[in-house]
Amino acid sequence: MAEDLVRFRNLLAGSAREADGGEWLESLDPATGKPWALIPRCTSADVDAAVEAARTAFRSPEWRGLTATARGALLYRFADILAEEAERLAQLETQDNGKLIAEMRAQLGNLPTYYRYFAGLADKIEGQVLPIDKPSMHAFTRREPLGVIACITPWNSPLMLLAWKLAPLLAAGNTAVIKPSEHASCSTLAFVELFERAGFPAGVVNTVTGLPQECGEPLVKHPDIAKVAFTGGEPGGIAVYRSAAENLKKVTLELGGKSPNIIFNDADLERAVYGAVSGIFAASGQTCIAGSRLLVQRNVHDEVVERLVALAGTARIGDPKLADTQVGPVTTLAQRGKIIDHIAGARQSGAECVLGGGLPTIAGLEDGWFVQPTIFTGVNNQMPIAREEVFGPVLAIIPFDDEEEALSIANDSPYGLAAGVWTQNIGRAIRMSERVEAGTVWVNTYRAVSFMAPFGGMKRSGIGRENGQEAMDEYLQTKSVWIDLGSPVSNPFVIR
């Protein structure tokens, strides 16, 4: 019964709001397959109200009149409150998207550091005095915020991926309208309640929830949105990019990947195998940086496969709310269907399934959306399982002979988000990091991220960078200012 479900509301101009039309959407628990909460089903009317609230706040003296140092102080205060609420938010996110509670505790425990980092950058935004070539002129530049930013986040790590957008845009002086995935909105709606406690002016942060066509598209197309910061799948990114181009909006797009994780014969194989398992089976493979293509040098291929199957075969699949669970469900029933289709397609292409490949039955969670950790060998780089993003716990292993072949296979992909290299040869590590076409290259590790390190993709994996000082540039624009100090009056019809 809907009456028994938890109801979450949007944040609009500092107040909790239901959808204008009074409609609701169910949010389902991936571990049980059953509804547990309701979120507002917003439409363009709700989008208009949220954008207007953000636009009003952007121009208000309560926000625009703050010094950069005061803006940073608000973010510091917010980070402290977030740290106090980390456990509650981790529990919500696990129930809403099925991610492991152990991983959510780690993510939420670390999340305040993102807001503190960008809080420290708020008053480091500087222009320049220009040694201008015009006599009697003084010229300088200012770095100013863009305005209202639309943040569109996916269902796999809503609060972490929101922080990558929200922390720098607020530090830069912008305001925001957040549209989380309809499949995992609850933790975001609980999270934004903290801004009032931190003392942020009403309207600086707002949310809309609902279906992409009903509120996501109107948000992207709204004339008062200055920029769209989007994380999600390639089709959604293309739709955002097309709409942004029509309306001359700026974009940051963090899209998909088919990341190569490359093991050379001189690697520490135990560490490499652990890195391979972490790269694909952590988060049930639902990460854009998943190391879903494992490239293994041929003369250690069989040993690596044997070790991988043995290790991955011990994975404890089950309730993500339990601290000792290692593989939880996938977040949506539709996504589980796509994963199963990819597994069937790999078999039809001639790949050999050496582990998993089916749907496990979990006692007490028979209706949950679980997929077994799955490993394929006998894969070549032209098979769909090696070219298409599965976004699930499915690993394709491809052998290679030498560095050149490894690079050829790794770079033969429309994507370029991330890559891993496992070797004890420092020269090889440098050569590979220079030549692999990816926005992030890890050597002898995998899935390491930080608020200090820029993150983003090459090729079809996206546009722009999140995290690090570069992220601030994504939410600022440069203004040139000229001041005439008393130059002689000249012919007004001639440009000097």
Give the largest CA-CA distance in the chain.
Answer: 87
CB 21 within 8 A of CB 43: yes
Name 376's bridge partners: 353, 396
Residue 49's identity, in one-letter code, is: A
3-state secondary structure of 368: coil
Of 326, 324, 315, the residue nearest 375 (C-alpha): 315
Per DSSP, 200 falls in state P
443: part of which helix (H) or strand (E)?
strand 440-443
Of 127, 195, 184, 190, the residue nearest 158 (C-alpha): 184
- Rounded to 10 degrees, the C-alpha dihedral 187/193/195/198 comes to -120
Of 393, 334, 331, the residue nearest 31 (C-alpha): 331
3-state secondary structure of 171: helix
Q: Which residues does 382 contact at the CB level (< 8 Å), separation at least 6?
A: none
Q: What CA–CA distance (Å, rounded) separates 233 from 254?
A: 8
CB atoms within 10 A of CB 171: 28
3-state secondary structure of 421: strand
Q: What CA–CA distance (Å, rounded) separates 50 from 61?
A: 19
3-state secondary structure of 297: strand
Q: Residue 357, by phi and psi: left (phi above 0), alpha (psi -120 to 50) or beta?
A: left
Tokens 């059953």 map to which residue?
A: 34
Whole-Å CA distances, 313 to 172, 260, 354, 357, 396: 47, 22, 10, 12, 16
Whole-Å CA distances, 64 to 46, 247, 374: 24, 25, 52
Residue 153's identity, in one-letter code, is: T
Length of the chain counted residue by residue: 496
Q: Which residues are catalytic?
A: 254, 288
Per DSSP, 217 falls in state H
| Phi, then psi, of 136 in degrees rounded to 5 | 60, 25
CB 368 within 8 A of CB 342: no
